[in-house]
Amino acid sequence: MLLSRLFAAVSLRFFCILAVVSEFVTPILPTPRGDSHWQSMWRGFISGATFAVLAMMIYSLARSIHALRSEEALKKLYVKEHDERMIKIWTYARAAAYQVYLILGIVAVVVAGYFSMVVSMTILGCIFFSSVLGLLLKLYYSKKF
């Protein structure tokens, strides 16, 4: 759970910086290619993603503050976040999702190759990065445990 909160904090900072850059530094940096509709949609996406991550962080902060006010609520939150059964379920679900992602990614590389080589190579790069990251994390956790 701590890792997801850390990820949310880093994502929020990234999206905030990106939103500021896309709004105020547009003359310096190139805008996304395409017409004004696409550029507006891109800025809307950045604003929406920033708002969503901010909302998740505020909810998590409010839940933690509420739990800190009561010993019983704090114990309840601790048990909920450290439930071994749910941790195992999430671990298996994420492992299965990762495998499905890799398999469907390879299929997407082949299918996209018939339409656009740039898209196909981009998907292949994402699959390669995910595979290497998965391998590095597997090596890290095999030594840790």
Domain ranges of the chain: 1-82, 84-145
Task: Give residues with Cβ within 8 angstroms of 23, minimum separation 6.
Answer: 43
Instruction: Please report, for residues 48, 55, 79, 107, the alpha-carbon distance to residue 38 in angstroms, rounded to integers and kept in the order given.
Output: 15, 25, 46, 28
Dihedral-angle region of residue 33 (phi above 0 means left; psi in -120 to 50 means alpha; beta otherwise) = beta
75: its two tokens = 């114990």
* pTM of full prediction above 0.75: no
**89-136 pLDDT, tens per residue?**
988 999 999 999 999 999 999 999 999 999 999 999 999 999 999 999
**27-74 pLDDT, tens per residue?**
555 566 677 777 778 777 877 877 787 788 788 878 888 888 888 888
